[in-house]
Amino acid sequence: MGLLDSILGKVVSGGGGGMDSQVINAVIGMIGKQGSGGLSGIIDSLTKSGLGDIASSWVSTGANKAIAPDQIMKALGNSHVSDIASKLGISPETVSSTLAKVLPEVVDKLTPDGKLPTPDLLGQALNLMKGNLKL
């Protein structure tokens, strides 16, 4: 459960508690949607928004570059972030702020060898994470 502990530790230290866990669950859902791009779709969205160097740092084996909440909004789209916020009953700003904290960590941990996992392996990892994220 090292991956989950690492991700939860990163956001819980920010003081969000249970709401952050719900945003993490939304991140897992975003990454797991292969039909809408999944993990590679998120990386592509970041790249198309001029944030390819940041996204590449998360996938590579080196240090992760930080991303700002407004960059998350730009890359993923206001409507997508607003949809998550609406489902969780929180503000889009809270969602983008939490995503800025957890998305680099999630992508980094799902790409330990510096490359995107196969859909089967990704699905297994996400199911394990989701099963351990007692919401």
Task: For residues 16 and 36, give the distance between their C-alpha atoms in angstroms, rounded to a whole number.
Answer: 28
Task: For residues 43 and 24, give the distance between their C-alpha atoms in angstroms, rounded to a whole number.
Answer: 17
Is residue 33, in this structure, part of any structural domain at all? yes
E strand segments, 1-135 = none
Task: For residues 108 and 67, give the distance between their C-alpha atoms in angstroms, rounded to a whole number.
Answer: 13
Q: Confirm if 135 and 26 have CB atoms less than 8 A apart.
A: no
Alpha-carbon distances, residue 57 vs 11, 43, 90, 111, 120 (angstroms): 20, 11, 29, 11, 23
At residue 42, the pLDDT reads 87
Is residue 119, in this structure, part of any structural domain at all? no
At residue 107, the pLDDT reads 86
Residues 6+ apart with CB under 8 A from 96: 69, 70, 72, 73, 81
Q: Confirm if 74 and 49 have CB atoms less than 8 A apart.
A: yes
Is residue 106, in this structure, part of any structural domain at all? yes
Is residue 77, in this structure, part of any structural domain at all? yes
- Shortest CA distance to 38 belongs to which of 47, 29, 46? 29
Q: pLDDT tier at 128 (50, 70, 90 boundaries)?
A: low
- Total number of domains constituting the chain: 1
Is residue 96, in this structure, part of any structural domain at all? yes
Is residue 127, in this structure, part of any structural domain at all? no
Percent of the chain with pLDDT over 90: 25
Domain that holds residue 26: 20-111
Residues 83-109: tens digit of each pLDDT: 888 988 899 999 999 999 888 988 888
Is residue 15, in this structure, part of any structural domain at all? no
At residue 13, the pLDDT reads 46
At residue 134, the pLDDT reads 47
Task: For residues 112 and 92, give the distance between their C-alpha atoms in angstroms, rounded to a whole number.
Answer: 30
CATH number of the domain bearing residue 28: 1.10.10.690
Is residue 125, in this structure, part of any structural domain at all? no
Residues 46-90: tens digit of each pLDDT: 999 999 999 999 999 889 999 999 999 999 888 888 988 898 889
